Amino acid sequence: MNPKTIFFDLDGTLLGTKNGQKFQIPHSALRALSRLRENGHRIAVCSGRQEAFIHKFFPGLFQSYVAQNGAHVVVDGKTVLDRILPEERVKSLAKHFDSFGCGYVFLGKQHGWARNIPDRLFGSIEEIYSLPHFLIREWEPNQVKAGMMDFVFETDEEYKKCAGAFTGGMILNRHPGGLTSDLSFPEWDKGKGIGAFLSQAGIAKEDTVAFGDGYNDVSMMESVGCAVAMGNAVDKVKQKADYVTTPIFEDGIENGLQHLGLL
């Protein structure tokens, strides 16, 4: 067997909420990641999260990742793609989403530029990003250095009010029970990020595997040789998957890798 490159989504795949505690990593998943590396495979993150978040929760573990839904790609510690929304695009997106009354955040590597978000929600949203001094409230378009966007919906009614804004190939990944939903743009998403990763690293598609659970993982599933859905994944991801493993806190990562013969 050729060495494999295995891409892991984070929220709902490697990280989850258990007993009311956020950002819990199953011990079996960490054990499996360590064994993968011992067996000569490459492990990589493929997530909407930022580089700083990855290193905070997995210090020293991942040197390769497709971050920010494909906007930032790093192969073995070397940045190979770093997409930033141009100022004019920031202006047009802000105007578009303001017209629907959406609450949103332009997301960069170290900061998020927030608009139309009630003060009472700022503390909760800062906890979601889990990075110090992350949100910026007052900003101009020329200050934004972002590769993706998040949206804030306190209720389903707020989402329904804004649903018509997401057209033209935009993919909104709603997080069940959460405040934020992340947006993938048609010109870059997880799948295109993986494409850039494989091209740079010289890896064949058939030597890749991906684990995911959310709507923004569909393009990732379509871009690898073998796609594994978590047992807690949305139906659309399960339908795209070659195999459905157990849920995150039922040893889903370890069980899936054992099924594939990688452990």
pLDDT in the model for residue 187? 86
Picking from 169, 184, 199, the residue at the C-terminal end of a domain is: 184
Alpha-carbon span 237 to 217, nearest angstrom: 7
Based on the structure, what is the number of domains in the chain?
2
pLDDT in the model for residue 174? 82
- 177: pLDDT confidence band, cut at 50, 70 and 90? low
Q: Is the pTM of this model over 0.85?
A: yes
- Tally of CB atoms within 10 A around 2: 10
pLDDT in the model for residue 176? 67
The answer on 202 and 161 residing in a single domain is no
The answer on 204 and 177 residing in a single domain is no
The answer on 173 and 98 residing in a single domain is yes
Mean pLDDT of 171-181: 81
Alpha-carbon span 196 to 24, nearest angstrom: 30
Give the tens place of pLDDT for each residue, 191-205.
999 999 999 999 999
Q: What is the CATH number of the domain that holds 97?
A: 3.30.1240.10
Picking from 184, 207, 232, the residue at the C-terminal end of a domain is: 184
pLDDT score of 64 more than 90: yes
Picking from 184, 215, 236, the residue at the C-terminal end of a domain is: 184
| Assigned token pair, 61 | 């573990």
Q: In this predicted structure, which of 78-82, 115-119, 174-178, 207-211 has the lowest mean pLDDT?
A: 174-178
DSSP 11: B
Q: What is the CATH number of the domain that holds 35?
A: 3.40.50.1000
Give the tens place of pLDDT for each residue, 84-108.
999 999 999 999 999 999 999 999 9
Alpha-carbon span 151 to 160, nearest angstrom: 13
User: Taking the mean position of all CA atoms in its chain, how far away is CA 45?
Assistant: 8
Alpha-carbon span 85 to 204, nearest angstrom: 30
Q: In this predicted structure, which of 7-16, 69-78, 119-128, 144-153 has the lowest mean pLDDT?
A: 119-128
Give the tens place of pLDDT for each residue, 206-217.
999 999 999 899
Tokens 């192969």 belong to 75
The answer on 215 and 129 residing in a single domain is no
Higher pLDDT, 2 or 207: 207
Domain, as residue range, for 71: 5-83+188-259
Q: For helices 252-259 and 27-38, what crossing angle results, to 10°?
A: 40
Give the tens place of pLDDT for each residue, 121-138.
989 999 999 998 999 999
